[in-house]
Amino acid sequence: MPRSSGSRIKNNLSVASLALLFVSLGAAGTSLGLIQANTSNGASCNFFITYSQLINESLYNYNVPTCKLSIASATIATICLALLTAIELFSVLYSMDIKTLFAKIMQTVFFTGSIVTLSITTTVVSAGWGKTCFTYFNITSKHPDTDSGFHCDGPQYTSSGSGPFPPNGGEFITAAVCAGFGALLTILTLSFFIVKQRINIYVRPQNLNVQDEFPMTSNEF
């Protein structure tokens, strides 16, 4: 592969990676904000609610650690993606290729951290809210006269109709979708990163071979 062709491909991949990272960062930030808004920043948790917790109000926030886990994982993902975006933006603006081994290792760590934490956020939010919805659905199906005022896909209202109140089920669903979408885009960006590293490995030996084939020494001039 000619050096100019390899550079052009890498530049295109860098621009595409930057665009994907911006979208991933926005998705992670949106997910984090929605979770914080609907859990009072982790102080009130409506994930994995069971029947016994509905009966005994003192156990209602027993699952607070799961909400804090989702917030922590979304926060870590947002930080990692922000750092990756800054690195890629610097690389695109100044047409610089990061070549040090340490920098490449750190980028790989940030990519891995983002993917893992976004996956955790998606799993906790979707499974946690799904369990809560299933619990309320069972109560309603077994006791048709019960009006809990619970809504899986929207804000909550009291039996008298006052509201809306958090948590907003639609926003939890959106948070899970955003986290999952961000994870998929980050995986795609990581694949671009790997391709760029492969191009570096493939192009450099050819350049070295050209120099070895036509050596220029001071004795020839």
**How high is the pLDDT of residue 217?**
45
CA dist., res. 215 & res. 212, Å (int): 5
Confidence category of residue 147, pLDDT binned at 50, 70, 90: low
Half-sphere exposure of 118 (CA within 13 A, CB side): 30
Token pair of 83 as six digits: 């750092």
Token pair of 114 as six digits: 């983002």
Of residues 11 and 117, more confidently modeled: 117
Instruction: For residue 35, give the nearest of 5, 75, 8, 63 by alpha carbon.
Output: 75
Q: Could you give the percent of the chain with pLDDT greater than 90? A: 49
Q: What is the mean pLDDT of the chain?
A: 84
Of residues 173 and 146, more confidently modeled: 173
Q: State how far the alpha carbon of 201 is from the alpha carbons of 1, 12, 47, 60, in Å.
A: 11, 18, 47, 56
**How high is the pLDDT of residue 87?**
92
**How high is the pLDDT of residue 75?**
98
Confidence category of residue 8, pLDDT binned at 50, 70, 90: confident
**How high is the pLDDT of residue 148?**
62
**How high is the pLDDT of residue 178?**
98
CA angle 147, 58, 39 (to 5 degrees): 75
Q: Decide if pLDDT at 7 tops 90.
A: no
pTM of the model: 0.83
**How high is the pLDDT of residue 5?**
64
Q: Decide if pLDDT at 135 tops 80.
A: yes
**How high is the pLDDT of residue 218?**
41
CA dist., res. 157 & res. 146, Å (int): 14
Is residue 49 within 8 Å of 131, Cβ to Cβ? yes
CA dihedral 111, 114, 115, 117 (to 10 degrees): 150
**How high is the pLDDT of residue 56?**
76
Query: Residue written as tokens 């899986």?
Result: 152
3-state secondary structure of 156: strand
Query: Residue written as tokens 């050596």?
Result: 215
Average pLDDT over every residue of 190-219: 63
For residue range 83-130, list pLDDT tens digits in order: 999 999 998 888 776 667 888 899 999 999 999 999 999 999 999 999
Q: Decide if pLDDT at 179 tops 90.
A: yes
User: What's the Rg (C-alpha) of the chain?
Assistant: 25
Average pLDDT over every residue of 195-204: 75
